[in-house]
Structure 1
Amino acid sequence: MIIQKHNETLTTPTGDMQVTVYRPNASGAYPAILFYSEIFQQTTPIARSAQILAGHGFVVLVPEIFHEFNPQGTVLAYDDVGKDKGNADKFNKPLESYDSDNQAMIDYLNDQSFCTGKIGSMGVCIGGHLAYRAALNPSISGAFCLYATDLHSNTLPCDEGNQTLERCGDIECEMVMVFGKQDPHVSPEGRRLIHDTMTQNGVDFSWNEVNAQHAFMRDEGDRYDAALALQMYRNAVDFFHRCL
């Protein structure tokens, strides 16, 4: 499908948040995906991922996840300076602020004639965590989480008892979890903890461990695995067409 895009500025309790909206050109109403980036925000690989999803018949929203700490339009470089800044932002933003960001996007979508009101979430790296976090909201009908970081370690700031993984029993939608076996950011022990915690809490989820490194979806850099990335896009599209 041919797609279009535009930016929206949404009001949240922690300040204005710029969101890029990708959606089909053809008239009609489409289900939506909240698509969460890595710590670098909306880089060109993230934009291309959003375009791929939108081209399969979805409205895709890409928020600036660290809007509290950066001017609108900020994109961090894939270098040490960008990594240090992104990680600093990550450890300074409470998880509760993402919850209000998510609700602002859901409210926006519910007001748009081009959206059916069915909404899913998807993300990579910290975005995988945020897609998982979004699934705590009952408005989310399916979450596809790629190599989600900081779930097993409980290292992101939040109120006591509000860590994402320990609240997984509140999730009502179907989940897909994808991890690379060679990913140093989520150890085998960490993956087992996530799997076992979700199982013990009765979460409806599928589990995929592939022979890949962290950020294998990113089509820049030497960790990119094009064949696996294509497989994951197909899986995600099929999943969201079914759930949404």
Structure 2
Amino acid sequence: MLIQQHITDIPTATGTMRTTVYRPQQAGQFNAIIFYSEIFQQTGPIARSAAILAGHGFVVLVPEIFHEFNPIGTVLAYDDAGKDKGNADKFAKPLEHHDSDTVAMISYLQEQSFFASKVFSMGVCIGGHLAFRAALNAQIKGAFCLYPTDIHSNTLPCANGNDSLSRCGDIQGPLFLVFGKQDPHVSPEGRKLIYQTLSDQQREFTWLEVNAQHAFMRDEGERYDAAQALRCYLMAIEFFQQIS
């Protein structure tokens, strides 16, 4: 399936958020995936991931998740300076502002002639957390979360009691969570906490732990695991197709 892409600037409660839209070239209406990036925003690996998903018949939105703190179009490098800036942005933006960004993207989709009816979420690293967080919104019909950080530790700013794990009982759609066993960012104890909390809340979720490091989906750098990445793309596509 051939795809096209364009840029749109979406108004949000906290300012303009540049968002790249990937979608099939053919005419028709398609369900959508909000694809949340790592702290570096829309790098080459993120763009390629979005294109893969769109090529399987989805509208894919890639927002600039830290639009409040950076000039429009900012992409951080995969180096120490980029990591430091991205982490500073991560710890400066309240989860409530991510919530309002999600609302804005859903509203945008509902105004588009190429959108069918359902919105899903997916992401990597902090984006995995944001995909999980987006599922608190009842209009998100399913979330695929790849090595989501900061869920177990409640280290992202938010109002008391409004952290993502404490509120997971509000999630109505199915979840699919994937963790790397060699990921130092989410300890075995942290993974157990997430699993047990979701179980206690009787949420519908699929759980997978693989032998891989953090950022194993990123097709740049020494941690990239092509076999695991391909497997995850196929599982994500099947997951979204089943609930479409």
How would you bin the TM-score normalised by the shorter chain? over 0.9
Distance (Å, rounded) in 1 between the aligned partners of 2:103 and 2:18: 14
1:52 & 1:233 partners in 2: Cα distance?
8
Counterparts of 1:165 and 1:243, CA distance in 2:
23
1:147 is displaced (CA, Å) by 0.2
Amino acid at match of 1:67: H
The unaligned stretches of length 5 or more in structure 2 are none
CA offsets, 1:84-112, max 9 Å, x none?
00000000000000000000000000111
Hey, what's the Cα distance between the residues in 2 that align with 1:219 and 1:203? 32
Q: Distance in 2 between matches of 1:140 and 1:11?
A: 19
Matched, 1:13 2:7: no
**Deviation sequence 1:122-148 (CA, Å, 0-9, x none):** 000000000000000000111000000
Alignment of 1:34-113 (within 5 A): 34-113=34-113
Aligned pair count? 244
Q: Aligned equivalents of 1:64 and 1:49: distance in 2?
A: 15
Q: What residue in structure 2 maps to residue 196 of structure 1?
A: 196
* AA at the equivalent of 1:24: P
Instruction: Report the AA paired with residue 54 of structure 1.
Output: A
Distance 1:163 1:211 in 2: 28
Q: Secondary structure at the match of 1:216?
A: coil
Corresponding residue SS for 1:138: coil
CA distance in 1, matches of 2:5, 2:73: 15
The 3-state SS of whatever aligns with 1:166 is coil
Aligned-residue RMSD, C-alpha = 0.4
Task: Give the AA of the match of 1:201.
Answer: Q
SS in 2 for 1:7: strand
Deviation at 1:229, TM superposition (A): 0.3
Unmatched 5+ stretches in structure 1: none
Say which SS state the counterpart of residue 167 (structure 2) adopts. Answer: helix
Aligned amino acid, residue 111 of structure 1:
E
Paired letter, 1:223: R
Stretches of 4+ aligned residues off by more than 2 angstroms? none
> Take 2:12 and 2:202, find their aligned partners in 1: how far apart are those partners?
32
- Counterpart AA for 2:59: V
1:76 partner letter = L
Distance 1:85 1:32 in 2: 30
Q: Distance in 1 between matches of 2:11 and 2:24?
A: 25
Structural mapping, 1:105-124, within 5 Å:
105-124=105-124
1:210 aligned residue: 210
Q: Cα offset for 1:152?
A: 0.3
Q: TM-score, normalised by structure 2?
A: 1.00
Query: How far is 1:243 from its partner?
Result: 1.1
Q: 2:155 corresponds to which residue?
A: 155
State the identity as a percent.
69
Give, in whole Å, the separation in 1 of the partners of 2:243 and 2:223: 30
Partner AA of 1:229 in structure 2: A
Q: Note the C-alpha offset of 1:43.
A: 0.1
How far off its partner does 1:67 sit? Answer: 0.0
SS of alignment partner, residue 31 of structure 1:
strand
SS at match of 2:8: strand
Name the CA distance, whole Å, in 1 between partners of 2:123 and 2:13: 23
Q: Return the offset for 1:117.
A: 1.8
The 3-state SS of whatever aligns with 2:222 is: coil
Whichever residue aligns with residue 117 of structure 1, its letter is S
